[in-house]
Amino acid sequence: MWPFVESRYQRIVAVEHDTLNDCFVLYERKPDGHVTSFTVASRHYFIVDDISALPGKNLDITELSGPHPLRYLVRCQNYREHLEQVKGVRRAGKHLWHRNAALSFLIRSQTALFAAMRPHDLKVAAVDLEVYTSKAKLFADANDPDDRIILATVADNRGQSFLFDARTLGEEGLIAALCQLICREDYDVLVGHNITGFDLPYLTTRAARHRLPLNLGRDGGPLFAREGRRQMGLPASADYFVFGRHIVDTLPLLIQWDTTHRTLANFQLKEAVQALGLGVDRRDFDRGEISHLWDKGEQRLLDYAVADARDSLALYNFLIPAFFYQTQLLPLTLQQCVNTGTGSKVDLAMVRAYLERAHSLPLRQEASGAEASGGLTEVRSLGWHSRVHKADVASLYPSICLSFKCKPRTDNLDAFLGLLTELTARRLAAKENLKNLPLGTLEYRAADALQNSLKVLINSFYGLLGAAGLHFADAEVSGEITRRGQAILLSMAANAEHAGGTVVELDTDGVYFTLPGLGHQPSEIAALIGRGLPAGIKVEYEGYFDHMYSYAAKNYVLFGKEGITRKGVVFRSRRLYGLQEGFIKAIIRCLAAEDVPCLGDTYRSYALRLRQGGLTRDEVTSYVSVDTTWEDYAAHIAAGGPRTRAFDLVAERPDRARWALKSRIYYYHAQHGQLKLSEDYTGDYDIRLYLEVLEKTAEKFLYLLPPLDWHRVFSELSISREEAARIKLWSFRPSPEVLREYERVQKRDFQLRLF
């Protein structure tokens, strides 16, 4: 139902443009697992704002309704003419809406992939290559005759594993067997970890040496590549395509996932799979070890190769469900969906809705130039708080859009609110369905993935408004929504304060606060905090915490029945030394018991052990991420660029290949200003430097106590436990006067004026 489009076809796993016959081929995976195909004729089209510059004659031009500039839909007789027309329009400098053939077909034909399917219905193969690195080189070179592919493994989601060994097949036979397997098993998706950055480029180069075509397509055609772009900070790599199949690289998807969750130490396959609980711990081998094991003919190398493919498949199964369900809803292939920003996805849904109504399109919106205001974040009370509640607004920005009818000013068809309403209803239905499904079942996981994918899309509507370069962006409306969100949050805080409570922190869509008295029911608190808010804005009670330590905006520690939660980079960061991590955890244990003497005892025990040389390697280790190749770093230095001390530790080492792109160099600060690799640790750390680190870490708990009391407790000069026990944890409003007194403590200026 408009503005949503239900797919005309079901169980379509791929759509491709057959350029030879100029038609579209649709592949359907039947419920019994077999794949059939059929063709659909469809004319190619684009939309332009001015037809005066169109080359050629006998064009089929339809003027779309509505007031927007992109109003002339031009249909072409064939694909060649279509390309020529588009080139002519671009040369003339006219405004244009144009997409690739498959995406354009999906929009105009009311087709979406994967309708009536679930993620596991797709047939998926994880592909992994192991290569030989000759002549003690740091990296295998696909152009070196000796740096051949020695193993190829495939693991699929039907429980099958395949191993191709160059000892028995030779490299040429291995490549041919891999291609034959993919075609015979008729996979819908080919997946790998860094498959577009390593496996496919290497495979392509080695196949070319043997003059062997990589005929992986469902039409019998070859793997091919187009110029790609940088993704998630990775080096630019080509985009690879196979007719009738999707290629998914889990490496950029994993990095994207971790930008939100921030739980991974690195993005190497084996470490990530283990950290996510998707696989068992197992030995990793570097390039030199792989070549050595190959020369010795060891079985464990074969086991390692198969495990790599299985890990890639496990990572795919973890990351892909949200993209699968978005593909069901949008005019995109799966491969396009994983590489398209969320705002662009909503924009495409809007374009599809407009073309369904034969309506003109607005031009792409340029950046407004004005600095966008973000959500409201404010700390009103610092320090130690007890009996803390949290309430927030469910989907604040989408709720504002629906309640106040906020939409792009160019959306005269009201498609924006129609799409948002429909997606919200579908998500509520999916969440309700979850209640009736057994936890952990395939059905439960599928329903949960569906509601999560809908949540991502729903929250992307606000992102579309603030984005530049999209047809339905509107920075002014985005700013209005932000301002309304801030006003709602301030009203929630005011309700808490009018009830005699203390507001600890406001953050974007929620409030932490205390209330006088005991026995408050969640529904009563939600009603209290939501009093007087606009219709359609629903306040939800998010939880109760025994205690909360507030240090700064978005940086706090929560103590609740389900455990202790650290929020913010102050208390939880990959950049923390092990010394800091251990100290923070120890202090938090003291706080959980509200034991002030324990705070001082913990600080002094850490300081004493540090001075006596008792810190472990993990406690003094830090790291730097490798964000360049060693060849590029050498060129950077040769050009006079600044050095990175940690890079210099390994840049000239013969085994520097151990530190591949996106890996980490672990190091520590040794005596006399030296920097050393953590693997060379001998206990010779810089005592003065790490003592300063400990002091700075203790300052993260500065606001637990009044300024002078904090200095007395967190000091190497011992005070009695009885004296420490008389000191009470406290909270305060962060006025300039009080904060200046804390600054005096940090500077060791003890002429305190207020206390």
Interior/surface letters 570-590, b for 16+ CB within 10 angstroms, e for the rest: bbbeeebbbbbbbbbebbbeb
pLDDT tens-digit map of 483-512: 999 999 999 999 999 999 999 999 989 999
What's the mean pLDDT in 623-633?
88
Q: What is the pTM of this model?
A: 0.85
Give the span between the Cα atoms of 97 and 364, in whole angstroms.
Answer: 9
In a domain, 187, yes or no: yes
* Amino acid found at 104: S
One domain for residues 109 and 195 = no
With both helix axes pointing from N to C terminus, report the angle between 442-466 and 475-498 in degrees, rounded to the nearest 10.
Answer: 110
Determine the 3-state secondary structure of 264 from DSSP.
Answer: coil
Given a cut of 90, whether residue 271 has pLDDT beyond it is: no
* In contact, 470 and 363? CB cutoff 8 Å: no
In a domain, 49, yes or no: yes
Determine the 3-state secondary structure of 747 from DSSP.
Answer: coil
In a domain, 415, yes or no: no
One domain for residues 111 and 144 = no
One domain for residues 76 and 179 = no
Q: Which of 295, 325, 355 is the last residue of a domain?
A: 325
Give the span between the Cα atoms of 702 and 31, in whole angstroms.
Answer: 63
The percent of residues in the chain predicted with pLDDT above 70, rounded, is 95
Q: Which of 268, 296, 325 is the last residue of a domain?
A: 325
* Mean pLDDT estimate for the chain: 92
Q: Which of 82, 115, 148 is the last residue of a domain?
A: 115
Give the span between the Cα atoms of 144 and 133, in whole angstroms.
Answer: 9
CA angle 549/381/388 to nearest 5° reads 55
HEC letters along 138-184: CCCCCCCCCCCEEEEEEEECCCCEEEEEHHHHHHHHHHHHHHHHHHH
One domain for residues 244 and 133 = yes
DSSP 671: G
What's the mean pLDDT in 571-589?
93
One domain for residues 65 and 111 = yes
Instruction: Supply 391's token pair.
Output: 């309430």
One domain for residues 33 and 16 = yes
Residue at token pair 């395509």? 241
Given a cut of 60, whether residue 753 has pLDDT beyond it is: no
In a domain, 514, yes or no: no
One domain for residues 155 and 234 = yes
In a domain, 176, yes or no: yes
Residue-level pLDDT at 205: 97
CATH number at residue 283: 3.30.420.10
In a domain, 698, yes or no: no
In a domain, 93, yes or no: yes
One domain for residues 268 and 191 = yes
One domain for residues 40 and 184 = no
Confidence category of residue 64, pLDDT binned at 50, 70, 90: very high
Count up the domains in the chain and report the number.
2
In a domain, 584, yes or no: no
Lowest mean pLDDT among 174-178, 285-289, 334-338, 554-558: 285-289
One domain for residues 219 and 167 = yes
One domain for residues 81 and 152 = no
One domain for residues 156 and 298 = yes
Domain of residue 83, residue span: 12-115
Q: Mind giving me the DSSP string for 95-151?
A: -EE---HHHHHHHHTT--TTTT--GGGS-EEEEEEEE---TT-SS--TTSTTS-EEE
